[in-house]
Amino acid sequence: MTESTEAFIIYDIAKGNSMQVKVKVKARKSWNMDERALVRHAISYGITRLGLWSCPVGLEVILKNFNDEDHYGDSIDLDDRFVVRITKKDNWVKTIFHELEHVRQYAEDELELEVGTAMWRGERFDNPDYATCPWEVMACAVEESLYEEFEESMIHFFS
């Protein structure tokens, strides 16, 4: 499997902030250049809309193929960076927004995940049900609203 890494910096000129983002492509044959450009654009849009400029650490996005049929992506807080892993299934742009919402939750200390346990806004959840846990419900709502906004912005951009 070949891998490539692209690093870019997203600037918020109005506020003088920036965030370094690395995009690693572990499944190069699955992600063409236009899709990679769309990934960068979606990440920039999500970071801006979610206010992730204040993140104390960088963001690494890995484009890969998951063997699990039901796995679309995930996000991990590694203390020294946030890692988002995305696979190219269904509407993967929505998955980017969903996982960036989890990055926001980590960055604002709303969410801490460990194996079998989660802390959400100070409340402990043991073996939480994915579909009903509040951080997932929120991420699903954010993914939908950001995607609608993003899609609208793309329509205006290309018209």
Q: What is the DSSP string of 9-50?
A: EEEETTTTEEEEEEEEES-TTTS-HHHHHHHHHHHHHHHHHH
CA distances for 48 relative to 2, 39, 52, 61, angstroms: 31, 14, 7, 16
| Coil, helix or strand at residue 5 | strand
The boundaries of the domain holding residue 23 are 4-158
DSSP string, 100-129: HHHHHHHHTTSEEEETTEEEETTEEEES--
Query: Global pTM?
Result: 0.87
Output the tens digit of pLDDT for each of the chain's 159 residues: 455 666 656 655 555 666 678 888 887 788 888 898 899 999 989 998 998 877 778 899 999 887 777 789 999 999 999 999 999 888 999 999 999 999 999 999 999 999 899 999 999 999 999 889 999 999 999 999 999 999 998 876 665
- Our count of domains for the chain comes to 1
